[in-house]
Amino acid sequence: MQIKSANTFSRSAAGTCWKAGARRDSKYRAIHRFGARERRLRFFRGMLMNKTRNQLIFLVPLFVAIASFTLLLLAVVNGWMGTPQGVGRSFCEASDGWIKQPVNTWSNFGFIAAGLAIAWRMWKGAFSENHNAFTQTTFTPVFFSSLVVLLGPGSMAMHATLTRIGGVCDRLSMHLIAGFLVAYSMQRFFGWKPRHFTIVFVVVMAANEWAGAYAWAGAYRHHIPLLSGRSAFFFCIVVTTVFEALNSYVRKLQHEKTWLIYALVSVVIAFVFWSLWRTTSPLCDPRSLMQGHAVWHLLCALSLFFLFRFYVSEHRARGAEPVETPPLGC
């Protein structure tokens, strides 16, 4: 009887231990299932956020293009910019229609196409193998492509109306892109935070606008003869080129430099057309479909696309000293 009682106790204890182990295993399995479910939820939330981010990269510039062009058409048709005041008449073309310089106006679709092409490539995840602000953030590709898009309606406003308001829109769109070029090149060289980028962007844009307004004042131009919005813009191109060289040779940032060469060559050729087809030039034919200033627009748009390819090719050389370059935006 004692042996039977001992055996019964042993079997009872074993059963109790087995049940405790089963409950413990069941608890662990439940925890594991909960953790797996949480991981799946995080994964799908991440996919949704990435999908939304990718859509924004293209949808925001597309909205900017549609909204700005629609607003421009309404302004031209309803005469919101006033009567022509001869702004832009030095660019040769002339017309009696409601679009005062049609070829020079419609050639600005090149900027809209370039900006949307940049946004499209980034939306499709091109160049994701490179680590830079264009591939790692949402703000940089959205902001840059939107600024490129705005160059189109901004320039159209002047060539379509020949008004001072149109001239301000044209000048502002150029100074916005100049502010980005300078601020982005300096931000990568100094390792600045986003607020420093913003400060430099605003200061450069405001200084360029002041230079343009100062030149338009006319009566005060004899104090600083070379000061104008145009000279300030080309000065920004020079500053950008210098800092991009420093980024390559001092910070050891690696790029496909061929794209930068293409961009600079395009700008130089565009400037030749800009200079040779002025109103006083023997090549000027106001009624011709061949307008040098229109070629200037198309080549500048191509130059900005080449510059984008230069930016997006950026990566750090092996063995280079790490430099903190905080991302622009989220």
Structural domain boundaries of the chain? 55-316
Least confidently predicted of 18-22, 39-43, 84-88, 117-121: 39-43
Residue 101 has pLDDT above 90, yes or no: yes
Write down the pTM of the prediction: 0.79
CA dist., res. 282 & res. 157, Å (int): 27
Task: Please give the distance of CA 124 from its chain centroid, rounded to a whole number.
Answer: 15
CA dist., res. 116 & res. 308, Å (int): 12
Q: What is the pLDDT of residues 127-166, one digit of tens each?
A: 888 889 999 889 999 999 999 999 999 999 999 999 999 9
Residue among 275, 249, 273, 245 nearest 261 (CA): 245
Least confidently predicted of 100-104, 124-128, 148-152, 203-207: 124-128
pLDDT value at position 325? 43
Q: Which residues pair with 315 in a beta bridge?
A: 254
User: How far, in Å, are 7, 14, 15, 310 from residue 3 at the CA level?
Assistant: 6, 16, 18, 88
pLDDT value at position 45? 47
Q: What is the pLDDT of residues 110-126, one digit of tens each?
A: 999 999 999 999 998 88
Q: What is the pLDDT of residues 211-254, one digit of tens each?
A: 877 665 554 444 444 456 678 888 999 999 999 999 999 999 99
> Where does residue 301 rank: exposed (0-12), middle (13-18), buried (19+ CB within 10 A)?
buried
pLDDT value at position 49? 45
